[in-house]
Amino acid sequence: MKKMNREEFRKHAEELDRKSRQEFKEQYEKVIETGDCLDEDGYPTDDALKLVEIWHWSDPKGWFNFIHSFWHLKSWGWHEVYGGKDDFLEEELNDKVLRYHISTAGWSGNETIIRSMEKNDMLWYNSWVQSRRGGHYIFELKEFSDDE
């Protein structure tokens, strides 16, 4: 790849983002149109998993809402809280931090969803906080107002 100046880089990034948004839109419409996130055995469909992998970085809360919609055993393994205590720093988090405590319950369908989440680099690295033995994950979304 040739060396780009700032303007060429900006145009290249905009084109990649445009393609990413278009791919996301097409996959989203395909999944929503069919309404099938789970197959006949109750496992996530390939189309739903693909959508998790390519979900656009600009909508992290939508990503979690979509995943929650077909997460198995969510009444036991999915909890959302604002604030709380940072496990590492042992400091209180402010109430603008939305924390997701997600457990796979060892179910292979949920493990597959986690693997698809990991493939979405931008959303994974901007929200993932912790993984624990036994399939427990913690994610955080920080909510900002326009004046922050």
Q: Can you give the residue ranges of every domain in the chain?
A: 6-142
Residue stretches of the chain with pLDDT short of 50: 148
Instruction: Calculate the CA dihedral of residues 61, 62, 63, 67 and round it to 10 degrees.
Output: 110
The pLDDT score that the predictor gives to residue 122 is: 95
Is there a contact between 62 and 127 (Cβ–Cβ < 8 Å)?
no
Please tell me whether the overall predicted TM-score, pTM, comes out greater than 0.75 for this model.
yes
The runs of H, that is alpha helices, within the chain are 6-34, 46-54, 60-69, 74-77, 108-119, 121-127
DSSP state of 44: B
Distance CA 61, CA 41 (A): 28
CB within 8 A of 120, min separation 6: which ones?
52, 53, 54, 55, 63
The pLDDT score that the predictor gives to residue 138 is: 95
Query: CB neighbours (10 Å) of residue 144?
Result: 7
The pLDDT score that the predictor gives to residue 145 is: 55
